[in-house]
Amino acid sequence: TTGRSGDAEHYFAVLDGHGGWDCAEFAYSLLPLSISESLAKAQQPHTETDVEAAISQGFLKVEETWTNKLKSEWLREPNYVTYGPSGTERLSSVGTCVLLACVHRGVLYVANAGDSRAVIAQKGFGGTYRAQRVTSDLNAMNPSEQERLKRDHPGEPDIFRCRGPYSCYVKGCLQPTYSIGDAYLKYPYFNSFPGRVIAEPYRPPYIRTVPQITARPLTACSQGDFLILATDGVWDYLSDQNAVDLVCRAHKRGSNPAEAVVDATLELAASRFGISRDELVAMPCGRQRRRIHDDATVIVVDLHSAAASAAAASSS
């Protein structure tokens, strides 16, 4: 929670780093404050447009700060060891997907830069919870993103390359089409040796930083309604409704709903590859485990409580 007590924002986010952990940690530490500072400069009372602009400005501020830091690191010690031990990743190819939810004055804003996914569950007729997808998977497997990339980069036949139906990469390098970081795919300065070099034609930026944002009032939220934020490793194995059903069952048992979603993801991943969950969990992080499942990080947000907290802050 950031901002003034009477006009606070409540933030929830999952960040999925690639190429290294550095950018994800950097964005995690700076993004809420950057958004809050941008929002504080907007004229009161804040409109939805003001909040969406502040979120976009917050993402851009983190990107700018990261890139400036990266330039100093690049000039000081341009060392890179592909798949090397921690700390040796070349920072120009490090980035992170960001999926952020912000509750401000009774409105839920969801900002997506990458291929994590947000799903809302609201109680329907008969008391059942139905999944409603809030975001699009912003990666090179998405047909809409493929068409956008071709429109934005005419004359680049290699704008994305597919190794299979579920394995497409921007310029043959990166699946997400939105992120913070990934400087070599955004700025010519970083497309040079000793870093990763993309051959001509090279007309960046190829990856967008400003997130796609949706807004919806929480006035219609009922007790028990919730929001799932999860990285793409979860959605490789679970449908939106699968995840919602798992959360509902966990709530009834009084267990942790986010852990229930992660556990089901690991069980399905292990089963697909003919091993037990214990054998999978015992594997060290690295290439072998990465072939079985991607990062599976989950947050479950109680929307009724979030709306009540925002209402209390607005009236204090």
* CA separation for the pair 219, 239 (Å, rounded): 27
Cis amide bond preceding 257, omega within 30: no
pLDDT, residue 84, reads 38
Half-sphere exposure of 247 (CA within 13 A, CB side): 29
What does DSSP say about strands 9-18 and 95-104: parallel, antiparallel, or unpaired?
Answer: antiparallel
* CA separation for the pair 217, 221 (Å, rounded): 9
pTM: 0.90
* CA separation for the pair 47, 217 (Å, rounded): 12
pLDDT, residue 1, reads 62
Tokens (6 digits) for 32: 């809420």
pLDDT, residue 257, reads 96
Instruction: With beta carbons less than 8 A apart as the criterion, state whether 26 and 94 touch.
Output: no
Which residues of the chain are modeled with pLDDT < 70?
1-7, 73-90, 193-196, 309-316
| 278-304 confidence digits (pLDDT tens) | 888 888 887 788 888 888 999 999 998
CA 312 from chain centre, in angstroms, equals 28
| 99-143 confidence digits (pLDDT tens) | 999 999 999 999 999 999 999 999 887 889 999 999 999 999 999
Could you write out the DSSP letters of every residue in the chain? -BS-GGG-EEEEEEEEEES-SHHHHHHHHHHHHHHHHHHHTSPSSPPHHHHHHHHHHHHHHHHHHHHHHHHHHHHH-----TT-STT-S-GGG-EEEEEEEEEETTEEEEEEESS-EEEEEEE-GGG-EEEEE-S---BTTSHHHHHHHHHHSTT-TTSEEEEETTEEEETTTBSBSB-EE-GGGT-GGGSSTTS--PPSS-----SB-SPEEEEEESTT--TT-EEEEE-HHHHTT--HHHHHHHHHHHHHHTS-HHHHHHHHHHHHHHHHTT--HHHHHHSPSSHHHHTT-----EEEEEHHHHHHHHHHHHH-
Phi-psi region of 222 (alpha: psi -120 to 50; beta: other; left: phi over 0): beta
Strand-pairing partners, residue 267, are none
pLDDT, residue 119, reads 98
* Polymer length in residues for the chain: 316
pLDDT, residue 79, reads 47
Q: Give per-residue burial for 297-312: e unless 16+ CB within 10 Å, then b.
A: bbbbbbbeebbeebee
Instruction: With beta carbons less than 8 A apart as the criterion, state whether 206 and 146 touch.
Output: no
pLDDT, residue 315, reads 39
Phi-psi region of 128 (alpha: psi -120 to 50; beta: other; left: phi over 0): beta
pLDDT, residue 81, reads 42
| 77-105 confidence digits (pLDDT tens) | 554 444 333 433 368 889 999 999 999 99
